[in-house]
Structure 1
Amino acid sequence: MEAYELIRSRRRTLALEVTADGRLLVRAPLRCAGARIDAFVAAHAAWIEKHLAIQREKAARLPPAPTAADIQALKARARAELPGKIAVWSEKMGVRPTGFKVTAARKRYGSCSAKDSLCFSCFLMNCPEEAVELVVVHELCHIREKNHGPRFYALLERYLPDWRERKKLLSMS
């Protein structure tokens, strides 16, 4: 039987999860017997093996994780290049961000706070120039429209009519 990490909570059912890093999580009700959990895992051995294989395959295709030096270089590049793009597009769009920062976020390329401060992932710098521009304009649009409703996309379309093609160029590294 595959080794697993047990997470108990106030749930009613048993559930399996194979994480991106190849760990097997079993979620169980607080008072579920260990024997029942082990039987559940054993009964789903084929599913577990299949999904562990998928995660191993994905991991093999990924480039090596960036080093701290790589991340610092990307951050430096972002701090050098993004303010100019923000200034150009802010002028065109008639908006003013209140702040700007660069992080090493892995799940999103950019964000705009409720106070109109912009935040960008340094990994955005691995994308083509057109994609970088899309993320900058996208976040600047959030200064006027805080959600992704029809008015937001109308505004984005006004400034970047080809935003859909540019979006295809984005891929988290």
Structure 2
Amino acid sequence: MEPYELIRSRRKTLALEITGDCRVVVRAPMRMSEKRIQAFVERHEDWIIQHLERQRQKAAAPPPPPTAEEIEAMKARARAELPPKVAFWSDKMGLIPTGFKVTTAKKRYGSCSGKNSLCFSCFLMNCPEEAVELVVVHELCHIREKNHGPRFYALLAQYLPDWQERKKLLR
């Protein structure tokens, strides 16, 4: 079994993370027993091995970082291509975002604020069209459902029944 770093906090659930530098991090509630944490890690051994290998491959051959000009070009493309998609899906879903922004976020492709303002990473423009559409619809769903609960995924599936296949394109 892979060694892991344990981080306890005021949370209710266990979570696994494979970091960019290929460490296994387990996040756990403050008072959860070591035995339960260990059992959780053992149950997810295959997942850990698979994702560690994927991360090691990424780390072995990282792509060169984009230049400032390339980032500006992606931002311009995002500002041109995303608003019509947001408008189309907003109309179809009967939802109205309060704002729209393009950033250079590297960890997430999109977000929806508590005030229903949508934010997209310019790096989303490197993804296939079906994946871009998924991120737009995903963030719009957050206007109605602020979390990733069953109602959120039911809403997402209502508009994009193939969302799980599209999600694979984001990786």
Normalised-by-shorter TM-score class: 0.5 to 0.7
- Distance in 2, Cα, partners of 1:159 & 1:55: 32
Q: CA deviation at 1:60?
A: 3.7
- Separation in structure 2 between the aligned mates of residue 150 and residue 159 of structure 1, nearest angstrom: 15
Task: Please name the residue that 2:108 is paired with.
Answer: 108
Who is 2:76 aligned against?
76
SS at match of 2:170: coil
Q: Return the TM-score normalized by structure 2.
A: 0.67
The one-character-per-residue Cα deviations of 1:103-142 (angstroms, maximum 9, x if unpaired) are: 0000000000000000000000000000000000000000
- Shift in CA distance, 63/146, structure 1 to aligned 2, threshold 3 Å: same
2:136 matched residue in structure 1: 136
Partner of 1:160: 160
Distance in 1, Cα, partners of 2:56 & 2:86: 39
TM-score (norm 1): 0.66
Change in 2 beyond 3 A, CA 1:57/1:126: closer
TM-superposed deviation, 1:63? 1.1
> 1:97 is paired with a residue of what secondary structure?
coil
Structure number with larger C-alpha Rg: 1
SS of equivalent to 1:132? helix
1:62 Cα deviation after fit: 1.5
Please tell me whether residue 145 in structure 1 is matched to residue 150 in structure 2.
Answer: no
Q: Deviation of residue 59 (structure 1)?
A: 3.5
- 1:48-79 per-residue CA deviation (whole Å, 9 max, x = no partner) reads xxxxxx98864341210111111100000000
Partner secondary structure for residue 100 of structure 1: strand
User: 1:1-173 maps to which residues of 2 (within 5 A)?
Assistant: 20=20, 58-171=58-171
Give the 3 Å change call, closer, same or farther, for CA 127–97 of structure 1 in structure 2: same
Number of residue pairs matched by the alignment? 122
One-letter identity of the residue aligned with 1:130:
E
SS in 1 for 2:100: strand
Q: Secondary structure at 1:111's aligned position in 2?
A: strand
Say if 1:161 and 1:55 are closer, same or farther in 2 by CA, change over 3 A. Answer: closer
Unpaired runs of 5+ residues, structure 1, are 1-18, 23-53
Give distance in 1, aligned partners of 2:77 and 2:69. 12
Instruction: Check 1:78–1:55 CA distance in 2 against 1; reply closer, same or farther (3 A cut).
Output: closer
**Alignment identity in percent?**
80
3-state SS of paired residue (2:105):
coil
Q: Aligned equivalents of 1:90 and 1:56: distance in 2?
A: 39
**TM superposition shift of 1:21:** 6.5
- Show the counterpart of 2:35: none
Q: Secondary structure at the match of 1:119?
A: strand
Sort the Cα spacing of 1:57 and 1:131 in 2 relative to 1 into closer, same or farther, 3 A: closer
- Partner of 2:123, secondary structure, is helix
Tell me how large the CA RMSD over aligned residues is: 1.9
Q: Which runs of 5+ in 2 are unaligned?
A: 1-18, 23-53
- Which string of whole-angstrom CA distances, capped at 9 and with x for unpartnered residues, describes residues 19-61 of structure 1? 7469xxxxxxxxxxxxxxxxxxxxxxxxxxxxxxx98864341
